[in-house]
Amino acid sequence: METKDKVEVEEERMKGEIVIPGETIVSGSEYLPGDYTIREDDDIVAVRFGLATITGRLVKVIPLSGVYMPRKGNSVIGKVIDITFNGWIIDICSPYLAFLPISEVTKYINKNDLTEFLDIGDMIVANVLAVKHRGVDLTLKGRGLGKLEDGMIIRINSHKVPRVIGRGGSMINLIKKETLCSIIVGQNGLVWIKGKNIESELLAKESIMFIVEKSFIEGLTEKVHEFLRKKLKRD
């Protein structure tokens, strides 16, 4: 799930400064307003609460809080909340509901009874196929996508997801290795954890919450390693 894009964001964060809506980030006609910024005369003004970064001439704000906005290609975890004649309505914790059409499921589906595959309340991992004018389309075509059985689901701030995954997946792989749990982190902030027993699942949950709380600290992977070692020794 980790992409090169996110690693870059991680690096830029170091340079960032916290800005609030209406605050001037920089002045000068040479700068260009990027994401969540506008130009007012010579000033580049933030329109969202977050970290301001300047890369070359481009100024943008990286949001720190707020609801998840789906983007094409994101893998998300969602819950089936309704069934229509040609697909499922999925809640992915974003401003809009998502739709999963039958055609985007690789398995054979009995059109007379969609509940055979997914019933209301079931959880799935899916990819965002398209974000259209109104609504989001999902797909289950792809590796590792499909219905989630057993395990538990926790919810975290979607802006902390890159931190939980870590550079090249280092952080999440560490937790997987130490707790022996399967973990799927959706870009929308839902995390699915499944282990051999409740104890290991709870430990994985605790370490993810640890990362979320301490996400502003540098060298976090090492701290998490220490945290896990301590916990495992005690148990």
Partner 1 sequence: MSYTKRIDGRKFDETREIKTKVGVVPRADGSALFSFGDSVAIAAVYGPKPLHPQHLQNPEKGILRVNYDMLSFSVAERKKPGPSRRSSEISKVIEWALSPVLQLETFPNTVVDVFVHIIQADASTRCAAINAVAMALAHAGIPMTELVTAVSVGKIDKTLVVDVIKEEEDYREGEGSTDIPIAFTARSNKVSLLQLDGKIRPNELKEAIKLGERVCKKIYHEQKKALKSLGRKI
Distances (CA, A) of 122 to 81, 82, 125, 145: 8, 10, 10, 14
Answer yes or no whether residue 45 interacts with partner 1 by CB under 8 A: yes
The set of residues, in sequence order, having a beta carbon less than 8 Å from that of 230 and lying 6+ positions away, is none
28 binds partner 1 (CB under 8 A): no
* Residue 46 and residue 52 in contact, taking contact as beta carbons nearer than 8 Å: yes
Q: What is the separation, in whole angstroms, between the first and last Cα of the chain?
A: 31
Query: With respect to partner 1, which residue has the nearer C-beta, 16 or 101?
Result: 16
The distance between the two most distant Cα atoms of the chain, rounded to a whole number of Å, is 62
Q: How many residues bind partner 1 (CB under 8 A)?
A: 28
Does residue 48 touch partner 1 according to CB under 8 A?
Answer: yes
Integer Cα distance of 196 and 79 in angstroms? 23
Q: Which stretch binds partner 1 (CB under 8 A): 20-28, 71-79, 141-149, 226-234?
A: 20-28
Among 2, 26, 96, 122, binds partner 1 (CB under 8 A): 96
Query: Applying CB under 8 A, does 38 fall inside the site for partner 1?
Result: yes
Which of 3, 20, 86, 107 touches partner 1 by CB under 8 A? 20
With 0-12 CB in 10 A as exposed, 13-18 as middle and 19+ as buried, what is 5?
Answer: exposed
In the bound state with partner 1, the residue whose beta carbon lies nearer, of 48 and 79, is 48
Stretch that binds partner 1, among 47-55, 104-112, 119-127, 188-196 (CB under 8 A): 47-55
Tell whether residue 14 is a contact of partner 1 (CB under 8 A): no
* Local structure of 82: helix, strand or coil: strand
232 counts as binding partner 1 under rule CB under 8 A: no
Element (H, E) at 206: helix 198-213
Task: Please pick, from the candidates 56, 95, 121, 219, the single residue that binds partner 1 as defined by CB under 8 A.
Answer: 95
- Binding residue (CB under 8 A) for partner 1 from 28, 66, 73, 169: 66
CB of 42 to partner 1, least distance (A): 14
Within 170-229, the residues that bind partner 1 by CB under 8 A are 215-216
Q: Does 41 interact with partner 1 (rule: CB under 8 A)?
A: no
- Is the dihedral angle over the CA atoms 115, 119, 124, 127 positive or is it negative? positive
**Binds partner 1 (CB under 8 A): choice among 25, 33, 44, 51:** 51
Distance set, CA 119 to CA 83, 136, 190, 191, 193 (Å): 8, 20, 19, 20, 21
Pairwise CA distance, residues 131 & 51, whole Å: 25
- Binding residues for partner 1, per CB under 8 A? 18, 20-23, 36, 38, 40, 45, 47-51, 63-67, 95-97, 134, 157, 159-160, 215-216
